[in-house]
C-alpha cells in the first residue's frame, strides 16, 4: 500500500487502538499492515518507538507502543519507516535465560522496506537504550 495514495480524511475517521495482544485476545496476532506514522515516547525508562500501523484491510489503525526492551529492540533492528509493510507477532511470555524466575514478553517483527525511505527517528539510540545488561558483559 502506498501511503501517498491514502485519503487523509478517511485516515482521520479510522478507529485507532493500542495494540495489546498480550492482554486482549481479540487483537490480531500477527498484526500486518503499513506503517503510516512513527513517533517517539520519552519516559522514565528512556525513549521508546511508537508506530501507527494501518491494518491490511485498511479499516483500523493500530498504535504499537514499544515499551518493553525486547519489542523496542526488535523494532529498532528492523528500522521501520512510513510506507513500509510490517508484521508484528506476539510470541507470549518466556523465561529469561539469565534471570531465574523472571519472564519477558517476546515478539517477532518483520519489515518489508518501501523504496527511498529515510530514517525519521534515532533508531540507534532506541536500540542502545532497549538492550538489557546481563551483568556479565553480555547484552540481551
Please report the pLDDT score of residue 2 as a whole number.
Answer: 58
132 within a domain of the structure (yes/no)? no
Contact 22, 105 (CB under 8 A): yes
The predicted model gives 128-133 an average pLDDT of 69
Query: Which of 46-50, 63-67, 130-134 bottoms out in mean pLDDT, i.e. has the lowest?
Result: 130-134
CB count within 10 Å of CB 140 equals 15
52 within a domain of the structure (yes/no)? yes
Domain with 48 in it: 3-116
Confidence of residue 97 (pLDDT cuts 50, 70, 90): confident
96 within a domain of the structure (yes/no)? yes
137 within a domain of the structure (yes/no)? no
Q: How big is the CA angle at 108 (ends 28 and 57), to the nearest 5 degrees?
A: 30
**Count of positions (residues) in the chain:** 140
Inform me whether the pLDDT recorded for 118 exceeds 80.
no
16 within a domain of the structure (yes/no)? yes
Residue 90's CATH number:
2.40.50
Cell of 58: 485498511
pTM: 0.77
62 within a domain of the structure (yes/no)? yes
Please report the pLDDT score of residue 65 as a whole number.
Answer: 95
Q: Of 68, 53, 41, 39, nearest to 11 (Cα)?
A: 53
123 within a domain of the structure (yes/no)? no
Contact 132, 126 (CB under 8 A): no
53 within a domain of the structure (yes/no)? yes
> What's the structural domain count of the chain?
1
The predicted model gives 62-81 an average pLDDT of 91
Tell me: the pLDDT tens digits for 29-53? Answer: 999 999 999 999 998 888 889 999 9
Amino acid at each position: 500500500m502506498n501511503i501517498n495514495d491514502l485519503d487523509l480524511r478517511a485516515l482521520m475517521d479510522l478507529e485507532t487502538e493500542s495494540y495489546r495482544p498480550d492482554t486482549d485476545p481479540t487483537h490480531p496476532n500477527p498484526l500486518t499492515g503499513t506503517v503510516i506514522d512513527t513517533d517517539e515516547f520519552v519516559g522514565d525508562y528512556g525513549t521508546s518507538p511508537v508506530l501507527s500501523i494501518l491494518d491490511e484491510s485498511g479499516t483500523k489503525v493500530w498504535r504499537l507502543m514499544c515499551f518493553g526492551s525486547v519489542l523496542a529492540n526488535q523494532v529498532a533492528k528492523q528500522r521501520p519507516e512510513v510506507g513500509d509493510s510490517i508484521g508484528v507477532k506476539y510470541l507470549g511470555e518466556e523465561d529469561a535465560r539469565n534471570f531465574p524466575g523472571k519472564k519477558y514478553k517476546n515478539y517477532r517483527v518483520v519489515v518489508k522496506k518501501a523504496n527511498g525511505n529515510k530514517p525519521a527517528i534515532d533508531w540507534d539510540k532506541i536500540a542502545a537504550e532497549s538492550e538489557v545488561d546481563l551483568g556479565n558483559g553480555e547484552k540481551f
